[in-house]
Structure 1
Amino acid sequence: MIREFAYVKVSTLKEATDALQSGNAKPLAGGTDLLVDMRNGVSRPDLLVDIKGIEELKTFSMNKGNGIEIGANVTLNTIIEDKKLRELCPVITDSAMSIATYQLRNRATLVGNICNASPAADMAPALYILNALVVAAGVNGERTIPIGEFITGVKKTTLEKGEMVVRVKIPRIPAGKTCFLKKQRIRGHDLATVNMAGLADRESNTLKVCIGACGITPILLEGLDDLYRNIRDRENLAEEVAMIALGAVSPIDDVRASAEYRRGIVYAYTKRLIREITSPN
């Protein structure tokens, strides 16, 4: 049951950040995670600050020189339906497509997905491999936080009291191939048992893999560039990276899967991911 709370609708960022200084206030954009948490007693705000009317939070732009910017009010379906984004950075599109149902994606946002800070957040692995930056705003102005420093634990971020995320920036549209994979229990709407994203760029010898739902935060594998530079056989490379992945993850037993099952999926899916992003086709 949702307990009583106050509500205010704002039209400017200043109004929002001022209102968020009050008590246990929370910003409301899509609300697809927040309202569920309120119903379950996980989150108990005394004030909801409706930010949907703030025009600057609807920013959605991309070009090869300035990268990609996605505002806090940009819905997942807006991301999915953008043909230019699909062409320039398909891993973002594919990650968004894996979340929930069409109806929920009409409300849910990319920013909300990472602010919820679930270990299984489907947008997080792609943002990690793309070196995304999270831009937060408060009464003292804006600050920029690398995505790897933003999520600090289960339902925990580095946001300070009264701050809200206004946009996510991807500084450079990646060269090379990307891929997103997700294992879930059922078809349709379900949280990830394991998810992961990868990027391989032979020109710069860059190889990145990030794994979700196997630790309290997404796990960006380390030391892959040297392997990519030195191991030319794709199967050997896939095996090496899969073993690194097994050493990096810390899965748990829960209602979606056992830790042992997750480790099996991590091994198999990492090899599949590496084969996909290093394929010459």
Structure 2
Amino acid sequence: MARQRESADYKGPVRRVLIALLLLVLAGIFLVWRIDSPRVERFRAALIDRVVPGFDWAMVPVTRLAAMVEGFQSYASLYEQNQELRRELQQMKAWKEAAVQLEQQNAKLLAQNQVRLDPKLTTVSGVVLADAGSPFRQSVLLNVGARDGIVDGWATMDGLGVVGRISGVGQTTSRVILLTDASSRIPVTIQPSGQKAMLVGDNSPTPLIDFLESPDEVRPGDRVVSSGDGGVFPSGLLVGEVAQGTDLRLRVRLAADYQRLEFLRVLRSHPAEQITEPGVLIPPPLPPLLMQEPEAPAVEVPADG
């Protein structure tokens, strides 16, 4: 019991002395590392070169552990991506089946109705030479012009939706005013409600929907196509879908990819033939003289006797 008491009496002071020495050493290292002197800097560099390489063996477990954690995170990310790709593949299969059925149905309807598509509605493809977009004007230049038969006012599309219209034709180039430009105005139809409206550009990625008769019948996500009114664009061209802006106004999220405009198709649309004379089923109006009722002929009455 006496020996245990003596050892306990020694442990306390020794522990305090060791803690004090450790604090002194740490304070010395801190002061050495804070002194701004060329001699001390050389001493620090020599100390690091001497001590640090010897601790490579101590860093091996930490490095291995970090590599294992990184590999596990990469595996988890790959697993999530694989699951997402599986879900997208299932959706694509469903869309493919629906597209095949619609294609077959469309072919049957065309065959039954003997529909003849307009052969004049062909396209001319051009490469976007420059983007002249600015806060006040949004347009692009194409490498096709008058020599390729381009006419002012024709519609342009990318792979999916309407991009704009030709506004200015040169011999070898032409300018396309985008739907987002402030000077762009095209008539559109909102499906399935059939509402007619105007797509008004305001230099923002989502043009405004204006002059809408019944806004209550339009919902975000409705399909927007060109109406063909006024002969500006052919009817039925995909423009985008309805979206509600931050200002609570109805706008159109355009189907065309304005971030990557590399190739555009110019639609050769010709104005529809106008009928100015009545046909044989509608007789021409009668002249004013013929429309008057003929007067009854006078009858002479013979005198008596």
For normalisation by structure 2, the TM-score amounts to 0.19
Structure index of larger Rg: 2
Query: Could you say which structure has the greater relative contact order, defined with CA pairs below 8 angstroms and 6 or more residues apart?
Result: 1
Higher-helix-fraction structure = 2
For normalisation by structure 1, the TM-score amounts to 0.20
